[in-house]
Structure 1
Amino acid sequence: MVERTLMLVLHDVAPETWRDYQPLVEAVDALGHIPMSWLVVPDFHHRNPLDKFPGFCRMLDQRIACGDELVLHGYFHCDDGPGPRTLPDWFMRRIYTHEGEFYVLNETAALERLELGKALFQRHDWPLQGFVAPAWLLNEGARQALIKSGLSYTSDPHHLHLLPKFTAIKAPSFVWSARSNWRRGLSWLLSENLAWRCRQMPLVRLGLHPVDMRHDFSRTYWLELLQRLLADGRRPMTKSAWLRQYLEQPRSAA
Structure 2
Amino acid sequence: MPEPANPSPRSLMLVLHDVAPETWPDYQPFVEAVDQLGDVPMTWLVVPDFHHRNALSRSPSFCQLLERRLRQGDELALHGYYHADDGPPPRSSRDYFMRRIYTHEGEFYGLDQAQAMQRLQAGLELFNSQGWPVAGFVAPAWLMSEGTRQALRQLPLRYTSTPQHLYRLPEFTAIEAPGLVWSARSAWRRGLSRVVCDWQRRRWHEAPTVRLGLHPVDMRHPSSRNYWLNALQTLMAQGRQPLTKSAWLERQIAA
TM-score range, shorter chain: over 0.9
TM-score by length of 1: 0.97
1:43 maps to: 49
2:250 aligns with 244
The amino acid of 1:12's aligned partner reads D
SS in 2 for 1:247: helix
Partners of 2:247 and 2:164 lie apart in 1 by 19
**Matched residue type, 1:86:** S
Query: Does residue 206 in structure 1 map to residue 212 in structure 2?
Result: yes
Residue 62 of structure 1 pairs with residue 63 of structure 2: no
Question: What percent identity do the matched residue pairs reach?
Answer: 62
Cα distance in 1 between the residues matched to 2:8 and 2:38: 24
Within 5 Å, give how 1:87-166 maps onto structure 2.
87-166=93-172
Unaligned runs of 5+ in 1: 250-254
Q: Following TM superposition, by how much is the alpha carbon of 1:2 offset from its aligned partner in structure 2, in angstroms? A: 3.6
Q: Distance in 2 between matches of 1:131 and 1:246?
A: 18
> 1:12: which partner in 2?
18
Matched residue of 2:66: which SS?
Answer: helix
What is the DSSP-based 3-state SS (H/G/I as helix, E as strand, rest coil) of the residue aligned with 2:191? helix
Question: 1:79 corresponds to which residue?
Answer: 85
Deviation track 1:25-71 (CA, whole Å, cap 9, x = no partner) reads 00000000100000000000000000100000000000000000000
Number of residue pairs the alignment of both structures matches: 249
1:83 counterpart SS class: coil
Q: Distance in 1 between matches of 2:158 and 2:150?
A: 14
Distance of 1:28 and 1:51 partners within structure 2: 27
Structure 2 gaps, min length 5: 1-6
Match of 1:182 in 2: 188
Q: Deviations over 1:159-196 (max 9, x none)?
A: 00000111000011100000111100000000100110
Instruction: Tell me which amino acid in the other structure corresponds to 1:73.
Output: H
Q: Which residue of 1 aligns with 2:228?
A: 222
CA RMSD across the alignment: 0.6
| Alignment equivalent of 2:29, drawn from 23, 26, 40 | 23
Q: C-alpha distance in 1, partners of 2:94/2:60?
A: 41
- Give the Cα–Cα distance (whole angstroms) in 2 for the partners of residues 132 and 239 of structure 1: 11
Output one character per residue of 1:69-113: Cα deviation in whole Å (capped at 9) or x when no partner.
000000000000000011100000000000000001100010111
CA distance in 1: counterparts of 2:156 and 2:128, whole angstroms:
14
1:149, CA displacement in angstroms? 1.4
State the distance in 2 between where 1:18 and 1:166 align: 31
